[in-house]
Copies of this chain bind each other. A is one copy, B any other.
Amino acid sequence: MRVIYAVIPAGGSGTRLWPLSRAGHPKFLHPLTGSTASLLQATVDRLGPLTTAERTLVVTGTAHVAAVARQLASVPEENILVEPSPRDSCAAIALAAAVIARRDPEAVMGSFAADHLIGDPQRWREVVLEAVRGAERGLLMTVGITPTRAETGYGYLQTGDPVDGGPLRPVAEFKEKPSAEVAEAYLRSGRHLWNASMFVWRVDVFLAELARQQPALHAGIVAIAEAWGTEEQDDVLGTVWPTLPKISVDYAVMEGAATAGRVATVPGDFGWNDVGDFHTLGEVLPADADGNVVLGADAKPGVLLRDTTGLVVVPHSGRLVAAVGVHDLIIVDTPDALLVCPRDRAQDVKKVVDELKERGEEGLV
């Protein structure tokens, strides 16, 4: 089995998972997996057969690097790349690619979000290995998710006909989050996949495409990479990083590369979930006979549920959570904030966070 480099951008605060997820302790640091592993740890575990700790790199912010370093004790310190400030995904991924390229210029790297759940890791690894084969042929590969519903919350990949009868399909276009009507059409087409921001490519191919489409960003990253590991590293990073364009890798590189015919995808069907909100979380974690999901069910004193169905309960404060006669509610109990919200309003949790910011309650977000 080919050993790839794995890059894990660990950013984003998971606003819709408030009050569990906070700016200071975001989604990927939490055990939302039904086990004691955090989403970040589960991501590393899932990569186990595809890479090694020495070839695993995490890109994270200054606020979370200490927690990341402790959660991932096996990852070497020099593989934990710290962004001095958030510059969106292109800068983060490009930095990792450039650092890897200094070690192995033709290395294949895969980039995988730190905060997604995969129900069938074995199947996922098989799909990633198909993508690795495409990457070795010089393609910028993505792993697309076979849609199961007309989701309006994700971007889509519009694909062409399979290549050589294999699993690879060219990606004709990256599509923004669609309207409900368009999403229905995508679902019916059979040609559209969810864009889960999983990428696999040779670092030299990616960096060349970056140079072609984003020359300024490329030049900055190259300057940083040349200073990497020298005593100049901090100075160069501190000077150059803030000048880098704040842009997503999809928009900066992948869309243009797709237009140029350089992007392909492998459709995957492995129980992917981006754990975007508590309703979604409730759909992937095991429920009791009444459809209640308790995250951290072994917490003490835990929960007392009477005549409840379809709840998502997070007893995360060490207090008893008692619910009587309620249905399809989200109840999230943390040491300094409590949330009660119907599952079909799970998206609106973001609005609570916005309102708290307006109130100046930064300590609670």
Q: Interface of A with B (CB < 8 Å)? A: 19, 301, 304, 306-307, 317-326, 329, 331, 333-342, 345, 348-349, 351-352, 355-356, 359, 361, 364
Cβ contacts under 8 Å, A329 to chain B: 326, 340
Contact B301 A364 (CB under 8 A): yes
Question: Shortest distance in angstroms between A192's beta carbon and chain B's nearest beta carbon?
Answer: 31
Contact A351 B319 (CB under 8 A): no
Assuming the contacts A337-B319, A355-B304, A356-B304, asked whether A349 and B324 have C-beta atoms less than 8 A apart, the reply is yes
Nearest residue (CB) in B for A326 is B340
Contact A338 B324 (CB under 8 A): no
Contact B352 A338 (CB under 8 A): no
Contact B325 A341 (CB under 8 A): yes
* Interchain CA distance A341-B321 in the complex, whole Å: 11
Question: Shortest distance in angstroms between A16's beta carbon and chain B's nearest beta carbon?
Answer: 11
Nearest residue (CB) in B for A346 is B324
How many protomers of this protein does the assembly include?
A: 2
15 contacts between A and B (CB under 8 A): A301-B364, A304-B352, A304-B355, A306-B348, A306-B351, A319-B334, A319-B337, A321-B337, A321-B338, A322-B340, A323-B340, A324-B340, A324-B345, A325-B341, A326-B329
Cβ contacts under 8 Å, A352 to chain B: 304, 306, 322, 324
* Interchain CA distance A359-B329 in the complex, whole Å: 25
* Interchain CA distance A322-B353 in the complex, whole Å: 10
Question: Shortest distance in angstroms between A320's beta carbon and chain B's nearest beta carbon?
Answer: 4
